[in-house]
Structure 1
Amino acid sequence: MSEKIYVGVDVGGTTIKVGICDAEGQLLHTFEGPTETSKGTDAILHNIASYSRKVVADSSYQWEQVDGVGVGIAGFLDIPKGFVKFSANLNIRDTDLKGFLEQELQKTIKVNNDANVAALGEAWAGAGKGIANCVCYTLGTGVGGGIIIDGKIVEGFASMAGELGHVSIVPDLEAIQCGCGMMGCLETVSSATGIIRMAKDAVARGDRTTLSLVEDIMAKDVIDAAKAGDEVAARIVSRAAHYLGKSMSMVAILLNPEYFIIGGGVSKAGDFLFDQIREVFEKYTLEQAKEGVKIVPATLGNNAGVVGAAGLILRG
């Protein structure tokens, strides 16, 4: 066997997902194991290394075929050095992840932010396949982002490029404080957490909404209620879509991507959400910056991080 393969690792707070990809980004084999954050940093690092070896050992491929291992991890990173400054999800601080894995695995190692990695996955083998310039939003607990220009991840001077969820876009009189400490971030209104917060606020105010009958409101409940004609829920979803579309109009002027790719749990609302985002984008974006631009759903789902991490070796 001479075919080169690429291992991608998506490190989450609960599980570590590992996969093998070929040079075209096709996912060949996967493995998933517990992160074991409660056991501390050393345990997490050793799990990343051991799962990387296991996914290959359990497949029809050989370790000698591995051309490199890419890792996607949430947190503040020094990306060129592969150094984790702080990851709240994992409670890791000041850790030389790249150095550790190079020693343990004896392979080329590349480390990047999880949102960047998911964006690369979609650009390489997902909704943006064949598209050189795209921007990805991930709408989950927060709002993640990743920028791909000329097929490469844009990292920025301090590895902070693409933090789209922390664009301060909500006007001061409507703004609340984000978890990052800033006011009016996109994440406060367009994430699942933001949608849930707005719904609970509406119920607490006594607004007439079917959501008052829901014991533990989730973002899906709000979206389903909006689709069913609940006016309060519809306003909440419309607000989330409005600020997403408006943020895209700003990004379009700065970067002029061909595709905006939207993933994460909230994106499962489908055209009900996407049509509203497109309408706002159309309204606020300069003609030359929106011409030919598409706003599309992500296609790789939970595999985007694994595929993108593997892609770091070829395209990171």
Structure 2
Amino acid sequence: MSESLYVGVDLGGTAIKVGLCNAEGDLLRTHEGPTQAVNGSDAVLTNIATYVKELVAPGTPEWDAVEGIGIGIAGFLNIPEGIIDFSANLPFRNVPVKKIMEEKIGKPVKINNDANVAALGEAWAGAGKNIANCVCYTLGTGVGGGIILNNRLIEGFSGMAGELGHISIVPDLEAIQCGCGKMGCLETVSSATGIIRMATDAVERGDKTSLVFIEGEITAKDVFDAAKSGDEVAQRIVSRAAFYLGKSMAAVAVIINPQRFIIGGGVSKAGDFLFAQIREVFDKLTPDNARDRVEIVAAELGNNAGVVGAAGLFLRA
């Protein structure tokens, strides 16, 4: 087999997903198995090696065509050295993942932040395909991000480039402490966690809102559904989340000057109801030359963005 192939690994706290891609970013097939994080870091890395070899059998022409294995990981990483410094949901503390996995698999390995690889996947084969300059936001439990400039993933000197959720953007008098320890991060208001917190606070204050009738824990979807139905409290919460997203994009636009912003993650499922508000703020706060013809669109690859992007680390990072 003459065509080069690449394997991507999306390492999550519960499951590990692996995928095989060609040089065009086409996802040929996937395989998945449990992470088993409770068994420790070596067990997790052994599982990755096992799932990769179940995806592509060693000794076959396909295996010989595999140029490398990319791994996307949530946590703080030393990307140049291939080390996981810390991961909140995985048993990794200063683990040299690149070195260990190359010994276990016998192929070159690269690691990167999970939000970066999701961004790379969208840029390579999703909503950013054929767009040389784009910025991706992932709105989920937190706010992740990734920056693609001139078709390359930007990592920065320590791998912290693209941590959009930790832009300090909320004014001091409104700011709360983020999980990173700093105050006023975008993540505190525009993530699912931030939206739920604001909704829970409103209910506990006794604000007049239909959210008081939600049984069990309030979800971000509950807030968006209430806002779409005309609930003024829910609308204010969504507007606040959208305002700071749009404001952050305005700041990014005059630094990076992307052609397209791509928004993925669970919160993005709110669709045009959220996107229209983000766009309104972005247009208001961004200079014309950084705003004109800039698009704000939804991600396309869904749960496959991570494996596609991780596979792309050997071509696009």
- TM-score, normalised by the number of residues in structure 2: 0.97
Report the counterpart of residue 271 of structure 1 in structure 2.
Answer: 272
Distance in 2, matches of 1:150 and 1:280, equals 26
Report the counterpart of residue 122 of structure 1 in structure 2.
Answer: 122
Distance in 2, matches of 1:217 and 1:76, equals 29
Q: How does 1:185-200 map to 2 (within 5 A)?
A: 185-200=185-200
Q: Which amino acid aligns with 2:136?
A: C
Distance in 2, matches of 1:161 and 1:64, equals 33
Q: Residues 130-182 of structure 1, C-alpha deviation per residue, up to 9 Å, x if partnerless?
A: 01111100000000010111111111122111110011101111111111111
Report the counterpart of residue 253 of structure 1 in structure 2.
Answer: 254
Report the counterpart of residue 227 of structure 1 in structure 2.
Answer: 228
Deviation of 1:62 after TM superposition, in Å, equals 2.6
Q: Secondary structure at the match of 1:273?
A: helix
Deviation of 1:82 after TM superposition, in Å, equals 1.0
Report the counterpart of residue 308 of structure 2 in structure 1.
Answer: 307
Of 79-88 and 271-280, the range deviating more from structure 2:
79-88
Report the counterpart of residue 159 of structure 2 in structure 1.
Answer: 159
**Runs of 4+ off more than 4 Å:** none
- Segments of 5+ residues of structure 1 without an aligned counterpart are none
Report the counterpart of residue 243 of structure 1 in structure 2.
Answer: 244
- The answer to whether the 8 Å contact 2:80/2:158 transfers is no
Q: Which amino acid aligns with 2:124?
A: W
Q: Which amino acid aligns with 1:269?
A: A
Distance in 2, matches of 1:183 and 1:109, equals 36
Report the counterpart of residue 132 of structure 2 in structure 1.
Answer: 132
Deviation of 1:61 after TM superposition, in Å, equals 6.6
Distance in 2, matches of 1:148 and 1:89, equals 27
Q: Alignment length, in residue pairs? A: 315
Q: How does 1:43-122 map to 2 (within 5 A)?
A: 43-57=43-57, 62-122=62-122
Distance in 2, matches of 1:183 and 1:15, equals 32
Q: Secondary structure at the match of 2:56?
A: helix
Q: Secondary structure at the match of 2:52?
A: helix
Report the counterpart of residue 8 of structure 2 in structure 1.
Answer: 8
Distance in 1, matches of 2:65 and 2:53, equals 12
Q: Residues 15-54 of structure 1, C-alpha deviation per residue, up to 9 Å, x if partnerless?
A: 1110001111111110111111100111111111111111
Deviation of 1:200 after TM superposition, in Å, equals 0.3
- TM-score, normalised by the number of residues in structure 1: 0.98
Deviation of 1:57 after TM superposition, in Å, equals 3.1
Of 1-10 and 255-264, the range deviating more from structure 2:
1-10
Distance in 2, matches of 1:265 and 1:34, equals 22
Report the counterpart of residue 20 of structure 1 in structure 2.
Answer: 20
Deviation of 1:91 after TM superposition, in Å, equals 2.6
Distance in 1, matches of 2:37 and 2:44, equals 6
Distance in 2, matches of 1:226 and 1:55, equals 44
Aligned-residue RMSD, C-alpha? 1.2
Change (3 A) 1:116 1:135: same
Q: Which amino acid aligns with 2:96?
A: D
Q: Residues 249-284 of structure 1, C-alpha deviation per residue, up to 9 Å, x if partnerless?
A: 000011101110000000000000000000000000
Deviation of 1:3 after TM superposition, in Å, equals 2.2
Distance in 2, matches of 1:176 and 1:79, equals 30
The yes-or-no answer on 1:146 pairing with 2:151 is no
Distance in 2, matches of 1:61 and 1:40, equals 33
Q: Which amino acid aligns with 1:21?
A: C
Distance in 1, matches of 2:138 and 2:25, equals 20
Q: Which amino acid aligns with 2:78?
A: D
Report the counterpart of residue 208 of structure 2 in structure 1.
Answer: 208
Deviation of 1:73 after TM superposition, in Å, equals 0.5
Q: Secondary structure at the match of 1:57?
A: coil
Q: Residues 179-220 of structure 1, C-alpha deviation per residue, up to 9 Å, x if partnerless?
A: 111111000000000000000000001111110000210000
